[in-house]
Chain A
Amino acid sequence: MLHPVPTLKETPSQTAGPYVHIGMTPNWADIRGVYETDPGATMVSADTPGTRIILSGRIIDGAGVPVSDAVVEIWQADGNGSYGRPVGSSAEARPAFTGWGRQPANGEGEFRFETIKPGPVPGPDGRPMAPHVAVWIVARGINIGLQTRIYFADEEAANARDFVLNRIPDPKRRATLIARKEEGDVPQYRLDIHLQGDSETVFFDM
């Protein structure tokens, strides 16, 4: 036997529902005094190495309506392309960079992460993948969390070699994963995520 045969079935997913904020971002939902801070609200600290960026965008449904009740989580490497591990929140345990963030969409379906630009991570063949952020989206009406990635428009050469992007034959669909850069005090990368329709974002089974 090369691999163990799975003996149990994965627990079926269910929608996070419209009140997901009660459990995942309670302070944002005005439930005060249970948790000191909402998990994943802060990814960087004053001594986090790397290039500060803002990652933002909107989540839009198939009718063109903003998904104002979504919660977005991201997971990314640090500036050197390494995945940190602990997200401990005590001062001693807190790493310089958590790699994990969680933000609710606002009334306009807009999400916003203050983070750093990730370094390249090795792909399955050992060659580097283009810098990217893994994204997971839940909301009312989404039965199982949607998985996608955000890439960066100013990494053109690396994007052209990226094995994930190269699995998407249609260049128009490939473009749904690439955030455009807007200059500012802190560079901002923006990408709208379309759940359905002509501009539908590429979602993964991974």
Chain B
Amino acid sequence: MPGDDQGALFARDRSWQPPAYTPGYKSTTFRAPRHALLSLPGTASELTGPTFGDMPLNPLDNDLIRNYSQDGGEAIGQRLIVYGQVLDENARPVPGTLVEFWQANAGGRYRHKREGYLAPLDPNFGGCGRAITDANGFYHFRTVKPGAYPWPNGANDWRPAHIHFSIFGHAFAQRLITQMYFEGDPMIWQCPIVGSVPDKAGITQLIAKLDRHNTTPMDALAYRFDIVLRGRRSTLFENKLEGN
């Protein structure tokens, strides 16, 4: 929150986060540093970050069903509302922060020139969107459920249905990219990228839950995906030893 942007962040729990080198995910082999990370205390360079609260968004920026439609059409697929709250480790909402998301279409095909999967593109689906969290840290968007797709890792590896997320927070050292999965998908537990997360409880944190209360009847199902960013230690004031 802008009012307490002074305190240092809690140290990142690197045993909870995926390590750099996870050979089951082959691309990490030559892209993982081999030296230990150098630990630094946070300075202004890490404890500040860009803010987006005033950035004007287009009304369709959080509607992937319509934000790329060329002719008033709509994307094909199972219609979804994805929503959730961005919190910090102290369970405080993170308002006014930019959340970006991207995904494949209902058939598992990405709109990207380097993607060669034979499932067809959807002419009315681009696959990107963004939202700024409200005063209570909530974001939401409309989309279609992405399909699973095969990828060249093992001989027959498939990614579970997923949506990529990029979140800023209020400090550059809170910057996070992750992936959201769907409750009940059996492929989650077979995926080497998911498996880069060491703790089963950590993986569970990446699985969005079906939320029947927020469905739009006769229109769209809803999934809830909350996101937790690093929290700040409050600045210790001598006259306020309990913190704030």
- Verify if B111 is at the interface (C-beta below 8 Å from A): yes
In the complex, whether A14 has a CB less than 8 A from a CB of chain B is: yes
For this complex, into which size category does the number of interface residues on chain B fall? Answer: 35 or more
User: Does A12 lie within 8 Å of B243, measured CB to CB?
Assistant: no
* Interface presence of A49 (CB below 8 A): no
- CB of B12 within 8 Å of the partner chain: yes
A99–B34 Cα distance when bound, in Å, is 30
- Our count of residue pairs bridging A and B at CB distance below 8 angstroms stands at 290
A148-204 residues with Cβ-Cβ distance < 8 A to B are 149, 164, 167-168, 173, 195-197, 200-204
In the complex the two chains form, what is the Cα distance from A93 to B54 in whole Å? 7
Is B215 part of the binding interface, using a Cβ–Cβ cutoff of 8 Å?
no
Please give, as numbers and ranges, the residues of chain A lying within 8 Å of B41 by CB-CB distance. Answer: 124, 206
B164, chain A: closest CB distance, angstroms: 6
- Bound state CA distance, A80 and B93, in angstroms? 32
**Chain B: which residue is nearest A15 at the CB level?**
B193
Q: What is the 8 Å Cβ interface bit string for chain B, positions 51-87, against chain A (1 contact, 0 not)?
A: 1111110101100000110000000000000000001
Which residue among A26, A63, A136, A139 has the maximum number of chain B CB atoms within 10 Å of its CB? A26
**In the complex, are the beta carbons of B90 and A4 less than 8 A apart?**
yes
| Nearest A residue (CB) for B20 | A143
A65 to B27, alpha carbons, bound, how many Å?
12
Query: Which residues of A sit under 8 angstroms from B49, Cβ to Cβ?
Result: 75, 100
Check A1/B38 contact, CB under 8 A, given A30-B113, A87-B55, A98-B50: no
Within 8 Å CB of A26, what residues of B? 126, 128
In the complex, A34 has a CB within 8 A of chain B: yes
Please report the C-alpha to C-alpha distance between residue A76 and residue B93 in the assembled complex, in whole angstroms: 26
CB-defined A-B contacts under 8 Å, sample of 10: A6-B90, A9-B205, A13-B176, A14-B197, A15-B27, A16-B166, A39-B98, A87-B51, A143-B196, A206-B41
B residues touching A (Cβ–Cβ < 8 Å)?
Answer: 10-14, 16-20, 22, 25-35, 37-46, 48-56, 58, 60-61, 67-68, 87-91, 98, 100-102, 110-115, 126-130, 164, 166, 172-173, 175-179, 193-194, 196-197, 201-203, 205-206, 227-231, 233-234, 236, 241-243
- Sample of 6 further A-B pairs with CB below 8 A, known A18-B115, A206-B41: A18-B114, A20-B164, A34-B58, A63-B30, A86-B52, A202-B35
